[in-house]
Amino acid sequence: MRCVRVLLAKRGRAKYTSHLDMQRCMMRAVRRAGIELWYTEGFNPHPYVTFALPLPLGVESDGEPVDIRLEGDMTNNEVRDRLNETMPEGIEVVDVVDAVNKPGDIAFARYHIELYPKEGLADKISSALESGNLPAEKLGKAGRKKVTKQINVSELMGEYTVQDNGESVFIDIVLAAGSQRNASPFILIDALSTAIGEGIEYKKITRKAILLANLEKF
């Protein structure tokens, strides 16, 4: 038995596929590809298939990591090729690698956000990001209850750039994505809208990479 990491690109209409449907899609693809999975032992054995950081609905990805445990001696390239023969439109296995780091090691994610342009929008966003104060409301838990928490998105940001090419405004940014500290690109957009006093509409959001604490790829 060995653990490998399947990196799934999710683009176009596939970005509206829910996490639960992605799990079902992955299991169907594995079965159709004839890939032998390792099953847990005990009263209710089940295959080991783990999405390291589930993708928010409506966000595209260049490589969503899914860990699976294999039986047999199938190579990583063979796993990739077999899975791609069974994947639906918009979902592609871009690589299969040996799993080294654990999901708990994830600390950040890098996003590419494309916005509809407005006059002066890039400058306003840059000023808001530089301010160090981007308050937002985030749904969390206190025991078993769901509560709304006040957060400062600026404290959950890493490096970023803002560009305007006349047709779109682009934000490339690193956001916290660990189990304790995390912020979604949607919370960032809401916080920026509040900070600049006008609504911001996005064209597309892509998660480019999942990162460790040292900003190396997961």
pLDDT at 190: 96
16 lies in the same domain as 92: yes
| 39 domain residue, yes or no | yes
45 lies in the same domain as 6: yes
**Matching residue, tokens 């996005």:** 202
Average pLDDT estimate for 57-77: 94
206 lies in the same domain as 116: yes
Q: Domain end: 54, 82, 100, which one? A: 100
Q: How confident is the model at residue 79 (pLDDT cuts 50, 70, 90)?
A: very high
pLDDT at 130: 97
Q: Domain end: 100, 117, 151, which one? A: 100
158 lies in the same domain as 126: yes
113 lies in the same domain as 135: yes
pLDDT at 140: 72
Task: Assess whether pLDDT exceeds 80 at residue 175.
Answer: yes
113 lies in the same domain as 205: yes
The larger pLDDT score, comparing residue 1 to residue 172, is at: 172
Q: How confident is the model at residue 131 (pLDDT cuts 50, 70, 90)?
A: very high
68 lies in the same domain as 8: yes
The tally of domains found in the chain comes to: 2
pTM of structure: 0.92
16 lies in the same domain as 112: no
Q: Domain of 199: which CATH number? A: 3.30.2350.10
> What is the rounded average pLDDT for all residues in the chain?
93
| 218 domain residue, yes or no | no
77 lies in the same domain as 110: no
Task: Assess whether pLDDT exceeds 80 at residue 142.
Answer: no
| 8 domain residue, yes or no | yes
pLDDT at 145: 76
Task: Assess whether pLDDT exceeds 80 at residue 144.
Answer: no
| 119 domain residue, yes or no | yes
88 lies in the same domain as 44: yes
> pLDDT for 150-171, tens place per residue?
999 999 999 999 999 999 999 9
| 158 domain residue, yes or no | yes
112 lies in the same domain as 206: yes
Task: Assess whether pLDDT exceeds 80 at residue 42.
Answer: no
Task: Assess whether pLDDT exceeds 90 at residue 180.
Answer: no
Q: Domain end: 75, 100, 125, which one? A: 100
Q: Domain of 67: which CATH number? A: 3.30.70.580
Q: How confident is the model at residue 176 (pLDDT cuts 50, 70, 90)?
A: very high
95 lies in the same domain as 132: no
Residue 7 domain boundaries: 2-100
> pLDDT for 80-130, tens place per residue?
999 999 999 999 999 999 999 999 999 999 999 999 999 999 999 999 999
